[in-house]
Amino acid sequence: MVLRSAFAPDHRDVTAAATAGTSSSSKALRKLPVPPPLARWLESLDEGTREILEIIEGSGGRAWIVGGAVRDALGGLVPCDVDMASTLRPDELRKLFPEAFAIGERWGTITVRHKGAACEVSTLRTGFGAGDGQRLDAIFAERLLEDLAFRDFTVNAMAVDASRGLLYDPFGGLDDIPKCVIRSTSDPAIKTLEDDGLRTMRAYRFVAIRVGWTMDPALAAALCQSPGLLQNISAERIRKEFSLILKGPSAAAVLRKMADDGTLQAILQLQDSLSAEVPPEECDSGRHLAFSRGARGMLRRGVRAVGALREDGHSGAEGAMEALALLLGGFPASEVERIMLNLKFSKAEMKLVTFHCGCLGHLPDASRPGELRRFLAAVGAEAAPRQLRLERAWAAAEEDAGLREAVLLRLSEVEAAVAALPGGYRVPSRLVDGKWVEARTGLRRRNVGLLKEWLFYVQLDRDITDVEALDKVLTEHFDIVALHQSPELLEALPKVEWPLAEVGGSGEK
Predicted confidence (pLDDT) at residue 14 exceeds the cutoff of 60:
no
Query: Nearest to residue 373, comparing CAs of 326, 420, 438?
Result: 420
pLDDT at 277 over 50: no
φ, ψ at 174 (rounded to 5°): -60, -35
Q: Which residues contact 48 (CB under 8 A, 6 or more apart)?
A: 114, 115, 116, 117
User: Residue 213: which of 250, 238, 188 has the closest Cα?
Assistant: 250
User: Taking Cα atoms as reference points, which of 85, 87, 82 lies closest to residue 47?
Assistant: 82
Contact criterion met (CB below 8 Å) for 112 and 65: no
Q: Which tens digit of pLDDT belongs to each residue from 289-324?
A: 333 346 677 889 999 999 999 887 765 556 899 999
In this prediction, residue 365 carries a pLDDT of: 97
Q: In this predicted structure, what is the pLDDT of residue 316?
A: 58
Which segment of 98-102, 236-240, 359-363, 502-506 scores lowest on mean pLDDT? 502-506
Torsion angles phi and psi, residue 19, rounded to 5: -115, -20
Tell me the pLDDT band of 484, cut-offs 50, 70 and 90.
confident
One-letter identity of residue 473: V
* Closest among 352, 354, 304 to 327, alpha carbons compared: 304
CA 403 from chain centre, in angstroms, equals 31
- Is residue 264 within 8 A of residue 200, CB to CB? The reply is no
Check pLDDT > 80 for residue 7: no
Q: pLDDT at residue 232 above 50?
A: yes
Q: What's the pLDDT score for residue 39?
A: 96
Cα(67)–Cα(109) distance, integer angstroms: 14
The continuous run of DSSP H or E covering 324 comes out as: helix 316-327
**500/494 Cα distance (integer angstroms):** 9
Q: Is 196 helix (H, G, I), strand (E, B) or coil?
A: coil
Per-residue pLDDT, 53? 97
Sign of the CA dihedral with 312 first, then 316, 318, and 322 last: positive
Q: What are phi and psi of 77, to 5 degrees?
A: -100, 160
User: For residue 445, how far is the Cα from the chain centroid?
Assistant: 42
Phi, psi of 313 (to 5 degrees): 85, 20
> Residue 114: beta bridge partners?
117
Average pLDDT of the residues in 184-202: 94
Q: Is the pLDDT of residue 3 over 50?
A: no
What value does the mean pLDDT take over residues 402-414?
97
For residue 188, what are the contacts with CB-CB under 8 A and spacing of at least 6? 218, 222
Query: DSSP string spanning 486-505?
Result: -GGGGGG---S-SSPP--S-
Which of 26-40, 58-72, 153-167, 350-364 shows the lowest per-residue confidence on average (mean pLDDT)? 26-40
Q: What is this structure's pTM?
A: 0.84
What pLDDT shows up at residue 137? Answer: 79
* Segment among 108-112, 291-295, 306-310, 458-462 with least mean pLDDT: 291-295
Find the length of the chain: 509
State the SS3 of 21-86: CCCCCCCCCCEEECCHHHHHHHHCCCHHHHHHHHHHHHCCCCEEEECHHHHHHHCCCCCCCEEEEE
In this prediction, what percent of the chain has a pLDDT beyond 90? 74
Going 329 to 224 to 220 to 147, the CA torsion angle's sign is positive
Check whether 504 has a pLDDT greater than 70: no
Taking the C-alpha atoms of residue 121 and residue 123, their distance in angstroms, rounded to an integer, is: 7
For helices 251-261 and 235-246, the axis angle rounded to 10 degrees is: 130
Whether residue 276 has pLDDT greater than 50 = no
d(CA 59, CA 39): 25
Other C-beta atoms within 10 Å of 98: how many? 6
Q: Which of 273, 54, 17, 326 is nearest to 163 (CA)?
A: 54
DSSP 263-287: HHHHHHT-TTTT-TTS-GGG--TTT
Is the pLDDT at 118 greater than 80? The verdict is: yes
- For residue 340, the model assigns a pLDDT of 97
Check whether 426 has a pLDDT greater than 70. Answer: yes
Q: Average the pLDDT over 426-445 and give the result.
A: 94
State the distance between the two ends of the chain, measured CA to CA, in whole angstroms: 79
CA–CA gap between residue 367 and residue 414 (Å, rounded): 8
Q: Tell me, what DSSP letter sits at residue 371?
A: H
Three-class secondary structure of residue 111 per DSSP? strand
Give kind and range of the element (H or E) at residue 14: none
SS3 403: helix
pLDDT at 274 over 80: no
